[in-house]
């Protein structure tokens, strides 16, 4: 269990404003990232980086509003799609030299209703709702002015020396002659950069007049930071295991609905000299469907009369993949309700892969949704998973692997993952 240890630096206590204070989560996302261009909206494990913390903040139910402060149109679009409000920051606080404090101070000047700012870093994708709730309670219930996140590390530090002077380096935290074993040493606390919560008064004084300061200790598996390209693959593996996937992450998928055109195929139709239509299907996608079927997840291909593919061709595709074909006039939510009633399923037991704007209704209702990277609807919804691959070129296989990964993750949670924290 995570510890909420408090270190007081003075005896002052913060008096929250009368009544319930307005708590605003604020994510700073400037468009001019130097290490990784537009990294805040680059996909990490199928989700925009900033969306991982937005999802945690929105699901925490501890804040009254969730904001993204940005100077970039595309970041604004992604933030709104994922349910955040947007503060369009001024050019004065959008420079390379602008500090986070200056940007937050501008935000609270324009938002007089805000009493507590929960400044969350977009580059910390393993943040969970309970981290936000517990840290915020340290301000609202324990009277803290400022709370920041830390992680415990067992690292021996050495002071840097000028090699030209020929001095020996010294360690400020170990005795070389009596180097402690890891299990015998409590380690040290380091800021991990996940979040910094503070009262309005503390921010207005530039954090120079703080009363009660506290740190919130996060377990090391949740302490992930992304700064440069080399951090990305490591963060992706960590977030797949320890990230927060939303309230539906524990739902067991029993049915996978997949649109044919725009998902299983790339929409191209080939006509032979004899006038017979043909369509190409990627063998990887067929293998992905079979992977789901082996795990007792039924796969149903869906299409409607507006499809450019004939019903006869669609039936051949269904036969090739070993799937049932659901063919209707529109394939709207009502028709899917009838299908689920027939199979005795509820929405959170269904995964759906769509691609067109007409699929938005079903995509928004199912427990798990996915879209190919080249689909028109990819920019319109907050998809749980956006594939790296395009339609007809392995996107279905990729989403199938994601569904199975979530199933495995859910089973691990049921039996509790055993982490050797002494050697993490």
pLDDT in tens, 128-152: 999 999 999 999 999 999 999 999 9
CA distance linking residue 377 with residue 379, whole number of Å:
5
* Max avg pLDDT among 7-21, 192-206, 291-305: 192-206
Q: Which of 179, 247, 324, 421 is catalytic?
A: 179
- Tell me, what's the pLDDT at 4? 44
- Please state the rounded mean pLDDT for residues 180-199: 93
CA distance linking residue 107 with residue 69, whole number of Å:
8
Q: Do 229 and 111 form a contact (C-beta atoms < 8 A)?
A: no
Please, is 214 exposed, middle or buried when counting C-beta atoms within 10 Å of its C-beta (0-12, 13-18, 19+)?
Answer: buried
Q: Average pLDDT of the chain?
A: 87
- Tell me, what's the pLDDT at 225? 86
Q: Would you say residue 410 has pLDDT above 50? A: yes
Q: Do 230 and 131 form a contact (C-beta atoms < 8 A)?
A: no
Q: Would you say residue 416 has pLDDT above 50? A: no
- Please state the rounded mean pLDDT for residues 239-254: 83
pLDDT tens digit string along 159-173? Answer: 999 888 888 999 999
Higher-confidence position of 318 and 109: 109
pLDDT tens digit string along 199-236? Answer: 999 999 999 989 999 999 999 999 998 888 888 999 99
- Asked about 179 being catalytic, the answer comes back as yes
CA distance linking residue 223 with residue 45, whole number of Å:
17
Percent of the chain with pLDDT over 70: 87
- Tell me, what's the pLDDT at 423? 54
């Amino acid at each position: 269990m995570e510890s909420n240890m408090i270190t007081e630096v003075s005896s002052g206590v913060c008096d929250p404003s009368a009544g319930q204070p307005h708590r605003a989560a604020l994510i700073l996302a400037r468009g001019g990232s130097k290490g990784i261009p537009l990294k805040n909206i680059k996909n990490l494990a199928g989700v925009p980086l900033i969306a991982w913390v937005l999802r945690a903040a929105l699901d925490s139910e501890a804040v009254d509003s969730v904001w993204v402060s940005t100077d970039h149109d595309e970041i604004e679009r992604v933030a709104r799609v994922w349910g955040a409000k947007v503060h369009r920051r001024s050019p004065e606080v959008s420079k390379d030299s602008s500090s986070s404090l200056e940007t937050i101070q501008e935000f609270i000047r324009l938002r007089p209703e805000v009493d507590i700012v929960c400044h969350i870093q977009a580059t910390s994708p393993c943040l969970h709702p309970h981290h936000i709730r517990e840290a915020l309670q340290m301000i609202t219930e324990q009277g803290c002015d400022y709370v920041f996140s830390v992680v415990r590390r067992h690292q021996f530090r050495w002071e840097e020396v000028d090699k030209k002077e020929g001095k020996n380096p010294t360690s400020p935290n170990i005795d070389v002659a009596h180097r402690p074993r890891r299990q015998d040493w409590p380690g040290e606390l380091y800021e991990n950069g996940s979040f910094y919560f503070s009262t309005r008064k503390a921010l207005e004084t530039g954090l120079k007049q703080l009363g009660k300061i506290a740190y919130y200790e996060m377990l090391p598996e949740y302490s992930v930071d992304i700064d440069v390209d080399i951090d990305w693959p490591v963060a992706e593996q960590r977030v797949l295991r320890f990230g927060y996937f939303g309230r539906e992450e524990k739902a067991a998928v029993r049915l996978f609905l997949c649109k044919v055109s725009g998902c299983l195929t790339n929409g191209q139709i080939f006509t032979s000299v004899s006038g017979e239509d043909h369509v190409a299907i990627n063998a990887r996608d067929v293998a992905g469907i079979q992977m789901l079927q082996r795990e007792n997840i039924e796969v149903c291909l869906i299409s409607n009369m507006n499809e450019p593919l004939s019903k006869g061709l669609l039936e051949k595709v269904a036969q090739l993949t070993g799937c049932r074909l659901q063919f209707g006039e529109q394939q709207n939510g009502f028709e899917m309700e009838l299908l689920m009633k027939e199979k005795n399923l509820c929405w959170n037991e269904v995964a759906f892969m769509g691609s067109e704007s007409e699929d938005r209704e079903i995509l928004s209702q199912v427990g798990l949704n996915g879209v190919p990277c080249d689909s028109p609807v990819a920019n319109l919804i907050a998809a749980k998973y956006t594939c790296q691959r395009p339609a007809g070129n392995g996107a279905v296989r990729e989403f199938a692997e994601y569904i199975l990964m979530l199933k495995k993750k859910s089973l691990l949670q049921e039996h509790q993952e055993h982490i050797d924290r002494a050697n993490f």
